[in-house]
Amino acid sequence: MAVSHIIEDEKALIEAIREIAQEKVAPRAAAIDASGEFPWDMKELLAQQDILAMPFPAEYGGVGASELATVMAIEELSRSCATTGLILAVQQLGSTPILLAGNEVQKQTYFPRLASGEWLAAFGLTESGSGSDAGAMQTFAVRRGDKYILNGSKRFITNGGLAQVNSIFALTDPAKGTSGISAFIVEKDFPGFSVGRIEEKMGIKGSQTAELIFTDCEVPVENLLGQEGEGFKIAMMTLDRTRPGIGAQAVGLAQGALDLAVSYAKQRVQFNKPIADNQGIQFMLADMATKVEAARLLVYNVAEMIDRHEKQISKYAAMAKLFASDAAMDVTNDAIQVLGGYGYMKDYPAERMMRDAKITQIYEGTNQIQRLVIARALLTEL
C-alpha cells in the first residue's frame, strides 16, 4: 500500500469507509449502472456517515478532514462504485470556490447544509462551445442594482439539476477575456434558472449530467464570489485542488478491476490449471498492480502537498490526474482481457469499470490539457 501520513483518527475513518463500500455500496453498483438513475440512497448513506462532511471545515458543521483522507475516501468508494465515489468528489468540487473565495456570510449560509448532505453542489464552467478553452465562454452577467442578471448556459454539469448550490462562472467584462470572468453562487430556485438537456452517457450512468440554462437569471450581488474579474483564477485554483479527487476515483476504479482480475485468474481453470499459473497472465497482473500503485502515490503526494498549503501544486495535480486516469483505462482494459469473454459481459463488473474509467481522462480537464499544464510548468521553472 502506498505511503501516506494519515493521522490515526482518519485512518480509522478510511477503514470504516472501506467496510461501508464493500458491504453497502458494492451490492448496488450494477443496479445503479443499469437504471441510470441518481442513487439517492447512496447519497443518504454518505450523508448519514458524515462522509459528505469530510471536505468542510469543522466550524461549519463539517469533519474538517485532510485532503489526503478525502481522496482516500473517494478511492475506497470508487473501488466499489465510481458513481458513488463521484458524489463525494463533486460535493467537494462544487463547494471549493466558496471555500477559496467565499466570505464568512457565504460560508455560514451554504456549508452547513452542504456538509450535512441536505444540499448538493455543482460546478458550472463548461459550455457547449467552451470546454478546454474556458476563456471562450459566452455566459455573461450584468449588474443591475442589487442583482446580477445572468444569461447563457452551461453544459455537461455533474449534479446539474440536482444541486441546490451551483458555482457558476460568467463574463462580467467581455473585453478583458479571462480577466473579465467572475464567479457566482447560484441557487437552484433563483428566478431565471432552469435545467435543459439531461445527458445519456457511456459510463457513470447514475450521476446526473445536465445542461443549466440562465434566462435573465437573478443573482443577488452578495452571491458574487470574491471580486469581479477573479472568476477564472478561482476556477483554476479550484481545479488544482479537486483534480486529485478525480485521480483518486481513477485509482479506485483501477484497484477494483485489479482485484477482480486477480480473483478470476485464481479461479478460472484452463488446460487443467488456473490461468494465474500462466506467466503471460502473471505479467499482466504485475503490470496492472504497478500502474495502480504508481498512480496512488502520485495522488497521495499532491493531496499531502495541498494539506501542507504548498502553492505550486498545479503541475503535481495535473500529473496525478493524468497518470491515474490513463492507468485506470489501461488496467480496466487489461482486466477485461484477463476475464476473456466473461469480461465483455455485464454479468461481471469489468466492462462497467472500463466505461466508468473513460470519463476520468476527460472531465476536470482532458488529459491533453493536463500535459499542457505540466509542460508549461516545466518550461517556466528556473
For residue 104 the three cell numbers come to 464568512
Cα angle 319, 357, 205; round to 5: 135
Contact 302, 313 (CB under 8 A): yes
3-state secondary structure 8-60: HHHHHHHHHHHHHHHHHHHHHHHHHHHHCCCCHHHHHHHHHCCCCCCCCCHHH
SS3 63: coil
| Rounded CA Rg of the chain | 21
For residue 97 the three cell numbers come to 470556490
Question: Between 26-35 and 82-101, two packed helices, what is the crossing angle to 10 degrees?
Answer: 90
Q: Given the C-alpha cell 467496510, which residue does it identify?
A: 19
Catalytic residues: 364
User: What are the Cα distances from residue 313, in Å, to 72, 78, 183, 293, 299?
Assistant: 18, 24, 22, 21, 12
Helices (H) and strands (E) in the chain, counts: 11, 10
107 residue type, one letter: K
User: What are the Cα distances from residue 23, in Å, to 54, 70, 306?
Assistant: 21, 20, 31
Closest CA to 343 of 257, 285, 216, 270: 257
SS3 140: strand
Cα(27)–Cα(66) distance, rounded to whole angstroms? 28
Closest CA to 329 of 366, 373, 368, 360: 360
Question: Between 314-339 and 279-307, two packed helices, what is the crossing angle to 10 degrees?
Answer: 160
